[in-house]
Amino acid sequence: MTHPARLSIGVIGAGRVGAVLGAALARAGHRVHAVYAVSEDSRERAAALLPGVPVKDIHGVIDGADLVLLAVPDDALAELVAGLAATDTWQAGQIIVHTSGRYGTDILRPALASHILPVAIHPAMTFTGTALDLGRLDECAFGVTGPDALRPMAEALVVEMGGEPVWVAEDQRAAYHAGLAHGSNHLVTLIAEAMEVLGAAGVEQPRAVLGPLVRAALDNALRLGDAALTGPVARGDVSTVDTHLRELERISPEIRTTYVALARATAVRALESGRLRPSAAEPLLDTLADQEPTS
């Protein structure tokens, strides 16, 4: 099914996020009229996901756009917005959407003098920068921040891309992003380290051994929270934890450090939730408090 395009969209940044969201908006019936892409990878990505859309400079992308999608790195966003404001590039009535999880709409303040409509829309998803990501947007949560008057429009854009809008207050944006980064980015590090340890233990296919366990643990954690805790830390099994520390020191002191930090956090949560008895928690936390390798 097709329907007439409603908004003319300019995409600044054809990275993994920008190109995919541009394609999602085009799929919803909007017209992507231009894209700004610098690197060879981003140009190839734009050609694959936004076929026929011309690559222009930033001014060419903004000129005539009803909606400008800013999909640039967090550290580049403030300078970009301020620089374009200083050169009177923004056009009155334009919807300016940035995709940063860290920021709300305060970072777009320099452009307000041009009477733009500021919105922050951040997909809570990891991207590959390919067409596969379009399917992942279905029911993906998007953190949305903006003036109350723009909330219906912002949420409608998210729904059109297949996502689920989640309203995040301006002053809670950093906490929202920290939660996502802690849960997703650090999960990758955790799994990679666990596979390294299994490999060092002689397991030929660590991912095959770890996969079913991790998927079940993730499902349980999402459903049950702290009640999903199992294992030696939650049981207060000091001897087992001490053995783990000795083995990890032999295999990788860096991974041992990660284990200690996560085991401490696990012990505290298990204690606070009543799954770990105080009498068992004390010797366990004493063991984990020792940062020096066990002899």
- Asked if residues 43 and 13 have their Cβ atoms less than 8 Å apart, the reply is no
User: Cβ(163)–Cβ(122) under 8 Å?
Assistant: no
pTM to 2 decimal places: 0.88
Q: What is the pLDDT of residues 123-169, one digit of tens each?
A: 999 999 999 999 999 989 999 999 999 999 999 999 999 999 999 99
Tens digits of per-residue pLDDT, 191-234?
A: 999 999 999 999 999 999 999 999 999 999 999 999 999 999 99
- The whole-number pLDDT of residue 5 equals 54
Q: Which of 55, 53, 110, 124 is nearest to 80 (CA)?
A: 110
Measured CA to CA in angstroms, residue 16 lies from 48, 74, 161, 198, 235 at distances of 12, 14, 15, 32, 42
Q: Which of 168, 186, 219 marks a domain boundary?
A: 168
CATH number, position 248: 1.10.1040
Considering the domain architecture, whether residues 112 and 76 belong to the same structural domain is answered as yes
Domain housing 281? 176-289
35 and 130, same domain (yes or no) = yes
Closest Cα partner for 124 from 159, 147, 99, 156? 99
Q: Phi and psi of 166, rounded to 5°? A: -125, 115
CA distances from 222 to 88, 225, 226 (A): 47, 6, 9
Same domain (yes/no): 52, 133: yes
Residue at 71 is within a domain? yes
